[in-house]
Structure 1
Amino acid sequence: MALIKSISGIRGTIGGKVNENLTPLDVVKFTSAFGTWLQNNKNKKNLTLVVGRDARISGAMVNSLVTATLQGLGIHVVDLGLSTTPTVEVMVPELNADGGIILTASHNPKQWNALKLLNEKGEFITGENGAEVLALAESENFNFAAVDGLGKYETRDDGFAIHIQKILDLPMVNAEAIKAKKYKIVVDAVNSTGGIAIPELLEHLGCEVIKLYCEPNGHFPHNPEPLKEHLGDICELVKKEKADLGIVVDPDVDRLALVDENGELFGEEYTLVAVADYLLKNKKGVAVSNLSSSRALRDVALKHDSEYFASAVGEVNVVTLMKDKNAVIGGEGNGGIIYPDLHYGRDSLVGVALFLTHLANENKTVSELRATYPSYFMGKKKIELTPDIDVDSLLTKMEKEYQNEEVSTVDGVKIDFEKNWVHLRKSNTEPIIRIYTEAFSQEEADSLGDQMIAKIKSLI
C-alpha cells in the first residue's frame, strides 16, 4: 500500500500504518498543515474553507476528520458533501472562501483517497506553496484553537445547482440549440458523484438520459480511469439504446471521455480538440495543452488562424501558461477541459455543454464530427536504467542528437519531427525514462518509441 506526499496534495491507500498509508492520523496531520499554512499567509481572522468529496467508500470518514480538524484550528467550514472537483473549485470564490479541500483520489481505485488543496481562487496551490505545506506537516508546528475559538460548521447542498447555472449562463453554451436536438445520451459515472451532476446538467439541456453506474456509492464497477479497455459496457449500451452519445467521467468528474453513436470511443485526446475547434472558430486566440498531448490541438488552432503553446505536464503548469498567454481554451489530453471564462480547472460539466453546443451547431453525428479531425495514434513506452546512470545527462545527449529538429526542453526533451513526435521524461521516483510518441498509425508510434529506446541505449 502507499502514501504519496506531493506539492499538489497527499494521497494514499486507506488503512495500515501511520506515515505509510493514508491513515486517520495522516489525514489530520496534513489537514492541520494546510489550515496552519493558510492562517500563516492570510492577514485576517475567521478563515473559511470549502470541503467537498467524491463518492468513494472512505469519503465520509475522511470528510469527518478533515472538517473537525479545520474547526479545531478555528477555521470555519462549508461542507458541500458529495461534490465534484470542478464544483468545489467554482464554489470557493463563489462563497468568498479562503481555500478549499477536495477529498478524491481522482481515477485511482477505491482503496485510495486524497486531499487536493485549493487557494482562494479555487485553483490548485502552486508547487512552492505545496512544498511549504509539506514542511509544516513534517514539523507538526500547529496551534489549535481554544474552546471559544473553534470554527463553525455548515453544510450546503446547492453546489451543483450553482455550478450548472454558471455553465448555462456562458455565452458560448447554446442550451436552446442543444434542446432542439433532443439528444439521447448514456452516462457512465463509475458510481461516483458524476452520476448526480452530469444527468442534472443534461436534463437542463433537454437531453434524454440513460444512467449506467450512476449510483454514488463508491463501489466502482470497473477500473475508474476512463480508458478504452475499461469502457466495454457503455459502448455496448450506446449501441443497444441507439443513443446519440455516451459520456464517461472519472470519480471526481474532471476527465471527460466520449462514445459515438456506433459505440466507438471518440478518443480522450479529442475531447479537448473538439471543444477547441468550436471555441476558436468563434474567437481567434490561443490554445494550450501539455507536451504529451496530441498534435491535433495544434492543427485545429492553426486551422482557425490561432496559436498553440505547450506547457510542462501537470494541470498547474497548463493553467500557468494559459494565464500567461491569455488562452481561450486549454487542458490536458486525458479529457481535461479548462475553460477560463468559467474557471481555471479541468471541468467535465462545462466540457459536456461546450461539446454538445458544437455538435448541435455542426448538425453532425458524433462519428461524423470525429471524422473531421486528423487521426493520430499515441504510444507509451519506458526504458529502465541502472541507478548509477545520470538520466539528466542522457536527456541532454538526446537533445544534442536531434538539435536539427524542433526540440523543447520545458519538461524533459520533446522532439517534433515533420510527421510525428517523441517526448522523453524522467521519472521522479525511479531510474526510468518515459517515452511518449504520436504518429499517423499505431505501428509508426510504437516503432518510433523502439527507435528512441535503441538510441538511448547507444548513448549510455
Structure 2
Amino acid sequence: MSLMISVSGIRGVVGKSLTPENLTAFTMAFATWIRRRKQALNPGSLAKPIIVIGRDSRPTGAVITGLVSNALSLCGCDVIDVGMTTTPTVEIATAGEGADGGLIVTASHNPVEWNALKMLDEKGEFLTASDVGELLEIAEKKAFDFARWDGIGTVTANGSWDAAHIDKILKLSCLDLDLVKSMNFRVLIDAVEGAGSYIVPELCRKLGITEIKTLACEGTGIFPRNPEPIEQNLRQTMAILASESCEFGIIVDPDVDRLALVCEDGTLFGEEYTLIACADFYLKHHKGPVVNNLSSSHALFDIARKHEVECFSAKVGEANVIEVMKEKEAVIGGEGNGGIILPELHYGRDALAGIALFIQAFAGWKSATGGTLSEFRKTFPDYFMSKKKVELTTLSKESLDRIFDTVAANHPDAECNRLDGLKLDFENGWVHLRPSNTEPIVRIYTEASTQAEADALAARFIEEIETAASANPAKN
C-alpha cells in the first residue's frame, strides 16, 4: 500500500505506508514551507510561526499528534493543539488564532487503520497543488530548516474552538432558530465514533432540536462500520432511524466534512442532495454563482437555473472547488459526497454548516406544508447516480492516460472533458472516470434518469476500462 499524496493531504496505513519516518519528514517539510512563506509574506519578521493542530478520534491520532507537534517545535514553530475536533473546526481555528498554518491528523472517511496529515495555509485553507509541489520538493531534498536550542517552539492547548465554531454558525443571517424549535423535531445522530460525537449533538441542541437520539457518539475512534457515509455502510443506521420514529437522521464521517441525511422512512435523502437542498435554501437569501465538482449531480445546475445564477464545475478535491469558487465569487459550493462550502463562514467543507442550512431549509418547508423529509426530497430534480471503483492493483496509474484516451475514442458522440481524468457527457447522462486522491483506485461515477440506466452505464464503462487496460499494459 503506497502513500497517497495530493491536495487532500498525506495519507496511508499506519505502520505500513504511514510511518514515523515519513510523518516526521513531511511535518518538517511543512514547517520549513511555512517558515519560508511567513518570511515571504512578512519580510524581516522574527516571530516564530504558529501552527494549529487538531485530530479526529482514531486511536493513532493522539500519538501522531504528539510526534508531529514535537517535530514542529524542533523546527521553531509554536503549536496550538485544539485537541480532538473536526476538520472544519481546525480550519476556523487556524484563521481565528492568526496562525501561519494548520495540520489536521485525520484520514477522513478511510477505515480506522488509516491516518493522514491534512495541511492548511494561514487562511485555514488546504494547500494548492503548487504549494504541495513546493513542500514535496523540500521533503525530497531534505532541505529542512531546524531551530537552534534557544529557538525551539512551544506547545499549548486550546479547547475552546468547538464552541466558537458553533457560535459562528448560529450567527448566520439566514437562520431562524425560533422556527426550528417550534417544529419539535426528533432527530437521530450517527457520528461513527468520530470527531463529531460531541459537537454535532451540541450544535443540534443550540439550533433548537427538541429531542436527540445518538448512535456511535462516544468518540472512541473505533468505528462500528466502514466510516464512509454511503448507502451500503448505513443500512443499520437507516433501520434504527425508521424504528425510532425520528423526523430525520444526521450522519457525519469521522472528521465531519461530509454529511449524509436519512428520511423518516429509513431511506437516504441522498448524499448528492445534501448540497442541492442547502444551495436551494441559501440562494433564497444570498444570490450568486454556485460550484460543484465534475463528479457531482447535474441537479445543482437545475437549482442554479431556477435561481437565475450560474453553476460551475471544478476538478474533484476541496482545494480545487474552492479555487473555482473564489474565481467565480460563488456564494455556496461543495462536492457530491455531502460536503458543503459556505464562504460566509469559511472556505472549507463543513458538515456542521450543512446541518444548520439543511435543518433550516426543512423546517421552513415543513412549517408551510406539514410534509415529511421523504416528501421534501421529491421537490428537487430527480437524477440517479452509480458510484463504482476499480482497484489499481490491476491498473497502473502510468497507463491511465492511455486508457482514458482509448475509452474517449470509443465515444465520439459524447462531449469530452479531460480536466480531471475523463468525463463524457451524453444526451441523457454522463460518466466520470478518475483516479482517487485518497485511495489506490479508479472511481467510476455515472448519472442517468433511472437507477437501472446509471448502473448499466457504470458496468459498461468498467468493462471498457478493463478492456482498454488489457490493450494498454503498464510500461516498466
* Coarse TM-score class (shorter-chain normalised): over 0.9
Q: Any idea what the Cα deviations from partners look like across 1:334-387, whole Å, max 9, x if unmatched?
A: 001111111111000000000011011112421111011122222245678876
Within-5 A mapping of 1:34-433: 34-43=30-39, 44=45, 45-207=47-209, 208-363=211-366, 364-381=371-388, 391-393=400-402, 395-396=404-405, 399=408, 402=411, 405-425=414-434
TM superposition shift of 1:34: 0.3
Contact 2:430-2:447 at 8 Å conserved across structures: yes
1:435 aligned to 2:437? no
TM superposition shift of 1:279: 1.4
Higher relative contact order (CA 8 A, sep 6+): 2
Corresponding residue of 2:10 = 10
1:31 aligned to 2:40? no
TM superposition shift of 1:9: 2.3
Structure-2 change in CA distance of 1:36 and 1:367 (3 Å):
same
The letter of the residue matching 1:57 is P
SS at match of 1:42: helix
Q: Which runs of 5+ in 1 are unaligned?
A: none
TM superposition shift of 1:417: 2.4
TM superposition shift of 1:265: 0.8
TM superposition shift of 1:254: 0.3
TM superposition shift of 1:256: 0.2
Query: How large is the RMSD of aligned CA atoms in angstroms?
Result: 2.5
Please identify runs of 4+ aligned residues in structure 1 that moved more than 4 A. 381-391, 396-405, 426-434, 450-460
Contact 2:49-2:78 at 8 Å conserved across structures: yes
**Hey, what's the Cα distance between the residues in 1 that align with 2:468 and 2:136?**
40
**Hey, what's the Cα distance between the residues in 1 that align with 2:397 and 2:413?**
30
TM superposition shift of 1:447: 2.3
TM superposition shift of 1:428: 8.3
**Hey, what's the Cα distance between the residues in 2 that align with 1:40 and 1:428?**
27
SS at match of 1:344: strand
Structure-2 change in CA distance of 1:429 and 1:244 (3 Å):
closer
Corresponding residue of 2:455 = 446
Give the TM-score normalised by structure 1.
0.92
Q: Which runs of 5+ in 2 are unaligned?
A: 40-44, 472-476
The letter of the residue matching 2:421 is G
Percent identical among aligned pairs is 49
Contact 1:391-1:433 at 8 Å conserved across structures: no
**Hey, what's the Cα distance between the residues in 1 that align with 2:59 and 2:439?**
31
TM superposition shift of 1:418: 2.8
Contact 1:190-1:221 at 8 Å conserved across structures: yes
The letter of the residue matching 2:227 is P
How many corresponding residue pairs?
Answer: 456
**Hey, what's the Cα distance between the residues in 2 that align with 1:389 and 1:237?**
45
The letter of the residue matching 2:341 is I
Structure-2 change in CA distance of 1:199 and 1:137 (3 Å):
same
TM superposition shift of 1:182: 2.1
**Hey, what's the Cα distance between the residues in 2 that align with 1:128 and 1:388?**
21
The letter of the residue matching 2:77 is I
Contact 1:92-1:120 at 8 Å conserved across structures: yes
**Hey, what's the Cα distance between the residues in 1 that align with 2:294 and 2:359?**
27
